[in-house]
Structure 1
């Protein structure tokens, strides 16, 4: 794997984690 693909994958994982965290926080706050 070249560096660009690795960077892209890491960026996508970070983005997904941020979205999941935001979603979880919203659900928790809306109880």
Structure 2
């Protein structure tokens, strides 16, 4: 369905963003926990 295609595109984009930003996100989280 068109909606399903739209959702899968968003999920793929989100996964790419997470891969790119995960190290930074983890670093910030570690700083706050310390």
Structure 1 stretches of at least 4 aligned residues deviating more than 3 Å after TM superposition: none
The two structures have a TM-score, normalised by structure 1, of: 0.66
Q: What are structure 2's unaligned runs of at least 5 residues? A: 25-34
Q: What are structure 1's unaligned runs of at least 5 residues? A: 1-7
The two structures have a TM-score, normalised by structure 2, of: 0.61
Question: For this pair of structures, how many residues does the alignment match?
Answer: 24
Q: Which has the larger radius of gyration?
A: 2
Task: Name the Cα RMSD after superposition.
Answer: 1.2
Shift of 1:29: 1.7
